[in-house]
Amino acid sequence: MTNDDASVADPSRRTFLIGMCGAAALAAGVGPALLADDAVAATGIKRKKNGKVVVTVRKVPELRKVGGRVLLGTVKGAPVAVVRTGSSTYEALDLSCTHQGVTVRESANGWTCPAHGSQFAEDGEVTRGPAMANLALVRTRWNARKGRLTVG
């Protein structure tokens, strides 16, 4: 048997790891924290047909205090979270790591990339690399009269 035959019969360590990482990413992407259907089912969060998400802030307990955050699932194809940054200010963050695009996860002090360890503050500011740029902001529109934040 030649080396070429052996590589077909026995996958390399690299092939195995790539496959496992893909499976883990798939599992993380459809896990409960980022499942788009959860955003639809959550009280105070409504997914519109155009891909935008409307958050009625007073109905979402996580957004009652500054620093609170809630995962919305995907908004127009990107994983998104809303963070309360002030008494009546909110930011929507694209949770794709700016290093290689892996979806970041909640951590005690903000967000952490499971792939290479980049860390971001609650507001998306990069605090530790290898990422060099902050998490991207997602467009929002605030309706103060109705207390609704439209994301996307």
pLDDT tens, position by position, 29-51: 333 333 344 444 468 899 998 88
Looking at residue 42, its pLDDT comes to: 65
CATH of the domain at 124: 2.102.10.10
Same domain, 59 and 4: no
Same domain, 9 and 59: no
Cα–Cα distance for residue pair 136/23, rounded to 1 Å: 26
Q: For residue 23, what are the domain limits?
A: 1-30
| Residue 83, strand partner residues | 69, 91
Q: Among 151, 30, 47, which residue's Cα sits nearest to residue 93?
A: 151
- Total count of domains within the chain: 2
Same domain, 6 and 59: no
SS3 label, residue 113: coil
CB 71 within 8 A of CB 107: no
- Strands (DSSP E) along 37-77, which ranges? 45-47, 53-56, 69-75
Looking at residue 87, its pLDDT comes to: 86
The tokens for 148 are 């609704």
The tokens for 120 are 């971001």
pLDDT above 90 covers a percentage of the chain that reads: 53
Same domain, 61 and 111: yes
Contacts of 67 (CB under 8 A, 6+ apart): 83, 84, 122
CB 8 within 8 A of CB 1: no
Lowest average pLDDT, out of 12-16, 94-98, 105-109, goes to 12-16
Q: Among 77, 73, 94, 100, which residue's Cα sits nearest to residue 140?
A: 94
Same domain, 42 and 26: no
DSSP symbols for 11-28 = --HHHHHHHHHHHHHHHH
Same domain, 44 and 71: yes
Same domain, 19 and 37: no
Same domain, 76 and 7: no
Same domain, 5 and 37: no
Same domain, 2 and 53: no
Same domain, 98 and 23: no
